[in-house]
Amino acid sequence: MISIIIWKDQAGSILGFSSEGHAGYEGEGKDIICASISTLFTTAVNALEEQLGFKDHYMISGSDSNFCEVWIPDSCSEEDKKTAQIILKTIVRGIKDVDSGVKQDYGSGYLQVTTKIK
């Protein structure tokens, strides 16, 4: 199962998100659920880098845990935080759409999405 945590601050702004695990729907390289989530995380990293110049704002571990984390740097300006919110809200919408579709079409054993306050 892929476990995704969407991290927010007390005001409800998205700070980032993390993902761990493997859906197990299909084998490596054929799992459409993992591919969907990987695409969204890659899009988040690329958009934050290209639009805002953020560097070193993600971590990927290729070990058995398949851990990935994307976050907004603490030191970014208020203007950059606003732009980052647009990017992250779009990605979170995609994550929630995948979650909804997976649960509807395949059941609840492949993906779990939770929101936590940091």
Supply the DSSP string of 76-96, one letter for each residue: --HHHHHHHHHHHHHHHHHHH
Total residues belonging to the chain: 118
Domain architecture of the chain: domains with CATH: 2-117 (3.30.70.1490)
Sheet holding 67-71, edge to edge: 58-61, 67-71, 14-20, 2-8, 111-117
Residue 62's pLDDT band (boundaries 50, 70, 90)?
low
Residue 25 has pLDDT above 90, yes or no: yes
Whether the Cβ atoms of residue 33 and residue 98 lie closer than 8 Å to each other: yes
| 3-class state of residue 99 by DSSP | helix
Residue 5's pLDDT band (boundaries 50, 70, 90)?
very high
